[in-house]
A and B are shown apart, each in its own frame.
Chain A
């Protein structure tokens, strides 16, 4: 079965640079979530989209922005990168809003030097 695809899998950037993370949900899934997991931490919710509209926002810095496109893939744009942005970034997808199971991608490991 098709899974959530994230690219790139690994990314190394320098401070103050920008990064773009991409997420391709499971076919026919219309809801996408982004989570950030720092070293030794639990995943923290950043932002979610349903039918290409932002549905909720968590602890996402103003330097980050995201959107969901017409084909339902999503991109997380991160600017003015800081050392503290080094983390594992997960994308998850599901169908519809509410209590449906979320399926997670393999994550993008971002290292900021």
Chain B
């Protein structure tokens, strides 16, 4: 089945810094999503981005489907950005999302 790998596993930033999170996947995908899991455990949808580039405020994402990777950019980070960021790709059967291990982001003031 499809493999999803995220890097780095951990990231520590000062408030105001920028960061790039990477997601590699082993096969072509019809669905690629980025989530932020907050300290209360809720999974927040950030982007649905099987290909191309999208922006939402300080966050943007790019997926290069032909090269099987996606990037999540966080600019001017804030303490509220802390948490775990997951990338997930739809399996070949189209019946389940396969998650990466996540990137744990800590932003300090």
Contact = CB atoms under 8 A, between A and B. Distances in A.
Contacts, number: 59
Nearest to B43: A104
A14 B95 CA distance: 32
Interface stretch (B12-20, B30-38, B67-75): B30-38
Nearest to A107: B41
Interface residues of A, number: 26
Instruction: Give chain B's interface secondary structure class.
Output: loop
Interface of B: 29-31, 33, 35, 41-43, 45, 48, 50, 86, 88, 90-91, 93-102
A42 B33 contact: no
Contacts of B101: 42
Contacts of B41: 37, 88, 107, 109
Given A100-B31, A104-B35, A33 B96 contact: yes
Interface string A34-76: 0101000011110010100001101000000000000000000
A90 B43 contact: yes
Instruction: Give chain A's interface secondary structure class.
Output: strand
Interface of A: 33, 35, 37, 42-45, 48, 50, 55-56, 58, 88, 90, 92, 97-104, 106-107, 109
Contacts of A90: 43
Which 4 A-B residue pairs are closest in the complex by CB-CB distance?
A99-B30, A56-B95, A101-B48, A45-B96
Contacts of B35: 104
